Each structure stands twice: as structure tokens, then as C-alpha cells.
């Protein structure tokens, strides 16, 4: 199953990514590349699919969710 995780670069989002990754194709979404810097020293880099979108932008979220 393909799933999208919004807010994926945050503390909770990264935990969800780790849980879903072995069982699903995961599309990780957060506001921008800078969002991934905060927890990089703890969790390292996410190697899966990554997209950037503002969750306040309905059209951007619709594009993120496409095929999920």
C-alpha cells in the first residue's frame, strides 16, 4: 500500500515513517528541505520518497495524496 505522511520531518512523523516503511511504500511530506534538518542528528536522513508542500494549500496537499 502507498501511504503519505504529512509532517513527516517532525518527531512524530519520523516515528510513523519508521513504522510504516517496512510494510508500505511511503511518501514523506513536509514544508521544505529545512524541516528535515531539525532531527537529522538523531534519526539521520530519510532515504524514501520525499515531497514538499504547505498543508494550508489544498491543491498542494491533493497533489501529495495523489496515488495514495
The answer to whether the CB of 34 falls within 8 A of the CB of 5 is no
The answer to whether the CB of 1 falls within 8 A of the CB of 21 is no
Longest dimension (CA), the chain: 32
Domain interval for residue 28: 2-65
Buried b (16+ CB within 10 A) or exposed e, 3-18: bbbbbbbbeebbebbe
pLDDT tens-digit readout, 26-40 = 999 999 999 998 888
pTM for the full predicted model? 0.87
Based on the structure, what is the number of domains in the chain? 1
CATH code of the domain in which 29 resides: 3.40.50.720
Average pLDDT over residues 43-62: 94
Amino acid at each position: 500500500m502507498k501511504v503519505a505522511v504529512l509532517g513527516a520531518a517532525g518527531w512524530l512523523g519520523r516515528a510513523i515513517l519508521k513504522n510504516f516503511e517496512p510494510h508500505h511504500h511511503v511518501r514523506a511530506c513536509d514544508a521544505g528541505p529545512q524541516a528535515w534538518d531539525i532531527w537529522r542528528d538523531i534519526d539521520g536522513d530519510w532515504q524514501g520518497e520525499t515531497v514538499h508542500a504547505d498543508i494550508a494549500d489544498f491543491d498542494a496537499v491533493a497533489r501529495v495524496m495523489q496515488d495514495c
